[in-house]
Amino acid sequence: MKIALCQIDTVIGDIENNKAKIIEGYNAGVKDGVDLVIFPELALVGYPPLDLVEKKEFRSAVNNAANEIASVTKGTGLLFGAITEDDDLIGTDIHNSAILCYDGKIQFIQHKTLIPNYDVFDEMRYFDQAKDVHVHLFKDEKLGISICEDIWNDADYWHRRRYSIDPVKKLIDKGASLLINISASPYSYGKRKDRQQMLSVLTRQDKIPLAYVCCVGAQTDLIFDGASMCFDSKGYLVRLGKAYTEDYLIFDTKENYKPVKQSEGTFEKEVLDALIYGVKEYCGKLGFKKLLVGLSGGIDSALVTYIAVRALGKENVHVVLMPSEYSSQGSITDSRKLISKLNISSEQISIQPVVDKTIEMLNHAFAGKTAGITEENIQARLRGLYLMALSNKHGYLLLTTGNKSEMAVGYCTLYGDMSGGLAVIADVYKTDVYRMVKYINRDEEIIPVEIIDKAPSAELRQGQKDQDSLPEYELLDKILRMYLEENKEQKEISAIIGDDKVVKEVLRLVDINEFKRKQAAPALRVSKKAFGYGRRYPIVQGWRK
């Protein structure tokens, strides 16, 4: 069978434009003489649609659009993802479905069986699972159609399975001669390699070809990398879609393809590409034309500025230097050097006069109190005030510059440096920030070496350094990875680190600063456990005080 995989970028809830993309892709497939054109999971509505599916008017519009799509089909088949409804008065009556159309109407619907409810997935809130799976005979092939999670439960690959049933195995047992999986699989580094290995084992063990089409695009904090995959019956990856862009590729199950050896690049390249794409998508889908960054002279704001330039172009990025009496001359000089390297517009506005006036006005209210963190935070919050004023006045999208290490332990100021509309590197540890910057500079110095080499500092008091308040970042990030991504607890981490006092303090800082992260800008997700709705931790809790 000759199949066209249409890896499209949809907008959640934009049914008319999503429908137009599906019809356009179908027509391309018809023109190329394919037998079947396939689109990703929930392609008609965008993924994840969240509470939109609870609106009757929305569901009705999706149903109408699905029938309109079906009406344009002829002998060539069309498979796409959408929501469907039944009326058995049990559960939500709403399904995440794969809809197969040809000859002008909907011919077959397969509902999703495995409904994920972990990490960033919350599908059990909205969808009922399929009661059964069925193969569908089409053009002499018995199609075994599944949806995303359905294929992530193969007993030959997973040592411990999340679900007791395996819908893909059931399809094979029912005589499927070709597997098709339509997917919306959020990206994190290593995920594409996992997909390749898992699907390779599945197709090799069962000696059956597979077409796996994955959506591309970014939906707020979730990034979908595309990279759709096709495997032959020997388990070889033979067709690979482009990453971070729409793509259209043809897979002929009768053709002998040369195997694709590698599906994923280095950490630095993949994560940098994902973040650039995430910023570009966020701006494009919300209508932002220009980006604003507060440039401190540190490595984090330098990296975010570089990403902004790569995402929207140098002509659409503006940076602001906001020195105080504690800002080093080096920070200003280094920032100026970066501005010159990137050829972007900038301005410098001192916060010191307003800091002085604010503290003067508060002197009476602060009587008897020693100066400290409050006065430091006033500086950060005044910078946030300046940046948000410029954002409002000029229509800039303000990008926050805090990294995952800082966000984890609360080394950031609420309503200060946390102000902004998108947290670009809040899922990137500080040590990985250095890795990425060195990768950027691999051929030429783009981010000044002075920025890389200087000791990290918030510069909110004289001689301040990050390591005055935090462990060395190598140690901090090692602890954070074990706690946040591996779900290890204090005793287990301490046994590895060898310093219970440091571990206890880091974990305490993570937990008591949950209230800050609940108010933070959405963070682009590039790890397996990012802050946001993928990590749900109580603000008020007694497990750790």
2-255 maps to which CATH number?
Answer: 3.60.110.10
Band (329; pLDDT cuts 50, 70, 90): confident
Band (545; pLDDT cuts 50, 70, 90): confident
| Residue 154, SS3 per DSSP | coil
Q: Which of 144, 27, 36, 41 is nearest to 84 (CA)?
A: 41
Q: Which of 49, 121, 117, 36 is nearest to 80 (CA)?
A: 36
The residue among 462 and 56 whose pLDDT is bigger is 56
In the residue annotation, 148 being an active-site residue is answered as: yes
pLDDT digits (tens, 9 = 90+) for 57-92: 999 999 999 999 999 999 999 999 999 999 877 889
User: Catalytic residue among 19, 21, 112, 337, which?
Assistant: 112
447, 439 Cβ separation under 8 angstroms = no
Which residue, chain included where needed, has tokens 């975010």?
304
Residue 48 preceded by cis peptide, ω within 30: yes
Residue 391 phi, psi dihedral angles, 5° rounding: -60, -45
User: Catalytic residue among 6, 19, 21, 41, which?
Assistant: 41
Query: So what's the pLDDT on residue 544?
Result: 84
Task: State the number of CA atoms in the 13 A half-sphere of 427 facing the CB.
Answer: 29
pLDDT digits (tens, 9 = 90+) for 80-128: 999 999 987 788 999 999 999 999 999 999 999 999 999 999 999 999 9
Query: In angstroms, rounded to a whole number, what is the distance separating the alpha carbons of residues 238 and 236?
Result: 6
pLDDT digits (tens, 9 = 90+) for 285-306: 999 999 999 999 999 999 999 9
Chain mean position to CA 377: 30
Burial grade of 528 (CB within 10 A; 0-12, 13-18, 19 or more): middle
- Name the residue ranges covered by the structural domains of the chain: 2-255, 270-466+514-518, 471-512
In CATH terms, the fold of domain 270-466+514-518 is Rossmann fold (3.40.50)
In the residue annotation, 315 being an active-site residue is answered as: no
Band (327; pLDDT cuts 50, 70, 90): confident
Fold match between 2-255 and 270-466+514-518? no
Query: So what's the pLDDT on residue 454?
Result: 86
Averaged pLDDT, 357-361 = 95
pLDDT reading at 140 higher than 90? yes
Query: In angstroms, rounded to a whole number, what is the distance separating the alpha carbons of residues 476 and 468?
Result: 13
Query: So what's the pLDDT on residue 459?
Result: 67
- The CA distances from residue 166 to 39, 99, 116, 162, 424, in Å, are 23, 21, 14, 10, 37
Helix intervals (H) in 327-447: 329-342, 352-362, 373-394, 404-409, 430-440
Query: In angstroms, rounded to a whole number, what is the distance separating the alpha carbons of residues 374 and 466?
Result: 17
Q: Which of 205, 432, 417 is nearest to 322 (CA)?
A: 417
Query: In angstroms, rounded to a whole number, what is the distance separating the alpha carbons of residues 424 and 338?
Result: 18
pLDDT digits (tens, 9 = 90+) for 474-507: 999 999 999 999 999 999 999 999 999 999 999 9
Q: Which residues on neighbouring strands pair with residue 36, listed in sequence order? A: 3, 77
Query: In angstroms, rounded to a whole number, what is the distance separating the alpha carbons of residues 524 and 406?
Result: 15
Tokens at residue 459, please?
A: 């510069």
Mean pLDDT of the chain: 95
270 residue type, one letter: E
Query: So what's the pLDDT on residue 2?
Result: 98
Percentage above 90 pLDDT, the chain? 89
Tokens at residue 299, please?
A: 């490595």
Query: In angstroms, rounded to a whole number, what is the distance separating the alpha carbons of residues 424 and 399?
Result: 7
User: Catalytic residue among 101, 148, 214, 283, which?
Assistant: 148
- The CA distances from residue 514 to 179, 190, 497, 519, 527, in Å, are 43, 27, 24, 9, 19
Query: In angstroms, rounded to a whole number, what is the distance separating the alpha carbons of residues 152 and 77?
Result: 26
Lowest-confidence pick of 105-109, 150-154, 390-394, 445-449 = 150-154
**DSSP state at residue 468:** G
Query: In angstroms, rounded to a whole number, what is the distance separating the alpha carbons of residues 66 and 19?
Result: 8
In the residue annotation, 112 being an active-site residue is answered as: yes
Query: So what's the pLDDT on residue 458?
Result: 66
Lowest-confidence pick of 45-54, 59-68, 235-244, 464-473 = 464-473
Torsion of CA 498, 502, 504, 507, to 10 degrees: -110
The neighbour count for residue 94, using CB atoms within 10 Å, is: 17
